[in-house]
């Protein structure tokens, strides 16, 4: 098998980090080199200088970490132990792979990741999943076309994790809600923490 990256992705420089949630769960992740994270995030590796993926700020990355901590609190403090257990989960929005890793750590049976950036997929999401021992068989990268053809009653998602939903308005918010209506199973939940 030949693995290749796009030219843009091949030039992007990243750092490898690890953070620990209050419950003790650890998530390793790959982030853009230009992202400066809070001091509780432990940098594991720092490659040579180079370009980074534009459009993703430190606030975005710390926000998704806050999302994971909020979900961890729901499970540990509010005793929602079945939140992800044997569930089909969709991560949508500013995709980093961190919420997907968390869902797997909490028993999700399958995760779909919607990402419209090939560079982010190759540079951050897939490496983050690999560093947390999530094999390719355990997740699917979901395209907009695939999302539009999902019938929620037969193959929809039980849980949708949408951390970017908080900071979106207007056209994007309408798009997200139309996706949720199509793909969320009856009785499913949307987490936007």
Contact at 8 Å (CB) between 62 and 29? no
Indicate whether 101 pLDDT > 90. Answer: yes
pLDDT of residue 124: 86
Residues 153-180, mean pLDDT to the nearest whole number? 77
pLDDT at 177: 79
In this predicted structure, the answer to whether residue 83 has a pLDDT above a threshold of 70 is: yes
Tokens of 78: 């509010």
Confidence category of residue 6, pLDDT binned at 50, 70, 90: very low
What does the alpha-carbon distance between residue 70 and residue 65 come to, in Å, rounded to a whole number? 9
pLDDT value for 158: 94
Sign, CA dihedral 30-33-69-28, equals positive
Supply 117's token pair.
């950036």
What does the pLDDT average to over 65-85? 88
In the predicted structure, residue 118 carries a pLDDT above the cut 70: yes
What fold is seen in the domain 7-191? Answer: Rossmann fold (3.40.50)
Measured in whole angstroms, the distance separating CA 10 from the mean position of its chain's CA atoms is 21
> What rounded mean pLDDT belongs to the chain?
77
Domain positions in the chain are 7-191
**What DSSP string runs through the chain?**
------HHHHH--EEEEEEE-TTS-EEEEEEETT----TTSEEEE--------TT--HHHHHHHHHHHHHHHHHHHTS--TTSSTT-EEEE-SS--SHHHHHHHHTT-SEEEEE-S-HHHIIIIIHHHHHHTT--GGGEEEE-HHHHHT--HHHH-EEEEE-GGGGG--HHHHHHHHHHHHHHEEEEEEEE--
Residue predicted with more confidence, 61 or 24:
24
Around Cβ 188, how many Cβ atoms within 10 Å?
18
- Give the whole-number percent of the chain exceeding pLDDT 70: 72
Q: Is the pLDDT of residue 1 over 60?
A: no
The residues with which 16 forms a beta bridge, in sequence order, are 30, 45
Per-residue pLDDT, averaged over 31-49, amounts to 53
């Amino acid at each position: 098998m030949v693995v290749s990256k796009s030219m843009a992705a091949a030039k992007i420089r990243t750092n490898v980090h690890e953070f620990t949630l209050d419950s003790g769960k650890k998530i390793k992740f790959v982030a853009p080199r230009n992202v400066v994270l809070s001091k509780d995030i432990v940098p594991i590796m720092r490659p040579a200088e180079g370009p980074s993926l534009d459009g993703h700020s430190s606030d975005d990355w710390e926000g998704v970490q806050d999302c994971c901590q909020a979900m961890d609190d729901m499970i540990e403090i509010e005793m929602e132990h079945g939140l992800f257990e044997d569930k089909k989960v969709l991560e949508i929005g500013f995709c980093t792979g961190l919420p997907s890793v968390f869902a797997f750590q909490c028993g999700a049976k399958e995760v779909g990741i919607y990402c419209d950036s090939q560079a982010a997929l190759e540079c951050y999401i897939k490496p983050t999943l690999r560093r947390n021992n999530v094999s390719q068989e355990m997740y699917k990268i979901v395209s907009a076309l695939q999302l539009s053809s999902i019938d929620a009653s037969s193959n929809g998602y039980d849980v949708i994790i949408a951390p970017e939903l908080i900071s979106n308005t207007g056209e994007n918010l309408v798009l997200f809600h139309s996706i949720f209506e199509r793909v969320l199973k009856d009785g499913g939940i949307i987490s936007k923490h």
